[in-house]
């Protein structure tokens, strides 16, 4: 099968596409892939690391307010459609899948105009602008949350698959996770991460929280700052603590996130849909701090889904302090019964066969 993948901007759009590629390879052996991403997003860096052929187009998103930048965006979209058609004609895919981000707009639209079967995947509880637009042209829309089917009235075929990224983490080795962090196996690990680029507010809260934790309780905190914030955050922590103790592990980025998640007891993070798919697939309790700087506040909607089921505690950024974060962590990690109950709730939400369901639909579309 020949597959074009498209998704970009953040890891939350990129990793589901990669997960689908890996699932297809696991089921059918070597396949032919082309990943079409943007010139400005993380995909230009991350996708080549996954050994997937990569080509780029220049595209940006629309601003919510009237702006001349939107005129430039329309022109980039039209040029992107033209460039995508050229790539698609040359590659001749059986099917095209878009996993979100502005770059999917011209790629999936171009495929639909060329009569190539298309599938788009929506990771969030509130659909993004690009996927709402594309749902009128795509053959299938796959959604991550049960009950979202009604969010795409313009598409006749909407299916609930969960997030393909969930499949990636279920076979990850906790032993390798512990080893990569230099933490003894069986230790309690609290992972604090603000997304692939980091989050300034979470970094600041962790700096404020650090003096309250790690006093001989055997808990290891793994703090992922994001590369832009690493040096400043590490410096502030060293100053606050008089050096970095052996219970605190400060990293700019984690490249083997599935393995680290496999050894994690509790996670503090944003509420990006792909990350939530990973932690629920593994049954990890969470303290979720939704980003307020996203379209339609969709991260809070994602987080509330887990909160309603008892799998997460939601702490809004406006209420985020070091003390508040410490209290939220302690009420979970300090009570084995609470931790177990939340873990079970998280696992109930996890859909482990997500990538396989997407691949099954791709096969159906390719065979049409």
Q: Are 18 and 53 in contact (CB under 8 A)?
A: no
**Binding site, annotated residues:** 10-12, 124, 196, 254, 299
Euclidean distance between CA atoms 39 and 225, whole angstroms: 24
Question: Considering only CA atoms, which of 118, 128, 266 is closest in space to residue 190?
Answer: 266
Beta bridge partners of 36: 6, 55
- Which residues make beta-bridge pairs with 219? 188
Q: Are 220 and 189 in contact (CB under 8 A)?
A: yes
d(CA 167, CA 121): 15
Nearest to 189, CA basis, from 213, 225, 163 = 213
Give the tokens for residue 97: 């899948």
Six token digits for residue 174: 């906790």
Say which DSSP state 157 is in: -
- Specify whether the CB–CB gap between 304 and 347 falls below 8 A: no
- What are the tokens at 274? 């792909």
SS3 78: helix
Find the helix or strand (DSSP H, E) in which 100 lies.
Answer: none
Pairing mode of beta strands 286-288, 266-269: parallel
Whether 232 and 242 have beta carbons less than 8 Å apart is answered as no
Residues in the annotated binding site for UDP-N-acetyl-alpha-D-glucosamine: 10-12, 124, 196, 254, 299
């Amino acid at each position: 099968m020949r597959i074009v993948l498209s998704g970009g901007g953040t890891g939350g759009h990129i990793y589901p596409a990669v997960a689908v590629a890996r699932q297809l390879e696991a089921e059918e052996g070597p396949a032919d892939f082309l990943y079409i991403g943007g010139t400005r997003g993380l995909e230009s860096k991350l996708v080549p690391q996954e050994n997937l052929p990569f080509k780029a187009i220049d595209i940006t998103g629309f601003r919510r307010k009237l702006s001349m930048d939107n005129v430039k965006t329309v022109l980039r979209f039209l040029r992107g459609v033209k460039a995508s058609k050229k790539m698609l004609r040359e590659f001749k895919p059986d099917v095209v899948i878009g996993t979100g981000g502005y770059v999917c707009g011209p790629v999936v639209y171009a495929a639909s105009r060329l009569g190539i079967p298309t599938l788009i995947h929506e990771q969030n509880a509130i659909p993004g602008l690009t996927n709402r637009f594309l749902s009128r042209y795509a053959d299938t829309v796959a959604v991550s949350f049960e009950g979202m089917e009604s969010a795409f009235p313009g598409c006749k075929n909407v299916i609930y698959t969960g997030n393909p990224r969930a499949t990636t983490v279920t076979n990850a080795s906790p032993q390798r996770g512990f080893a990569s962090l230099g933490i003894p196996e069986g230790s309690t690990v609290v992972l604090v991460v603000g997304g692939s680029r980091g989050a300034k507010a979470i970094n600041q809260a962790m700096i404020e929280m650090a003096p309250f934790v790690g006093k001989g309780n055997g808990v290891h905190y793994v703090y992922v700052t994001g590369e832009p914030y690493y040096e400043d955050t590490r410096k502030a922590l060293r100053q606050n603590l008089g050096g970095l103790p052996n219970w605190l592990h400060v990293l700019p980025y984690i490249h083997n996130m599935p393995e680290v998640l496999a050894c994690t007891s509790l996670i503090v993070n944003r509420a990006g849909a792909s990350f939530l798919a990973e932690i629920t697939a593994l049954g990890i309790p969470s303290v979720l701090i939704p980003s307020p700087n996203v379209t339609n506040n969709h991260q809070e909607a994602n987080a509330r889904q887990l909160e309603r089921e008892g799998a997460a505690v939601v702490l809004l950024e406006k209420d985020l302090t070091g003390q508040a974060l410490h209290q939220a962590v302690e009420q979970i990690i300090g009570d084995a019964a609470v931790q177990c109950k939340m873990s079970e709730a998280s696992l109930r939400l996890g859909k482990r066969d997500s990538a396989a369901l997407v691949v099954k639909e791709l096969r159906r579309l390719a065979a049409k």
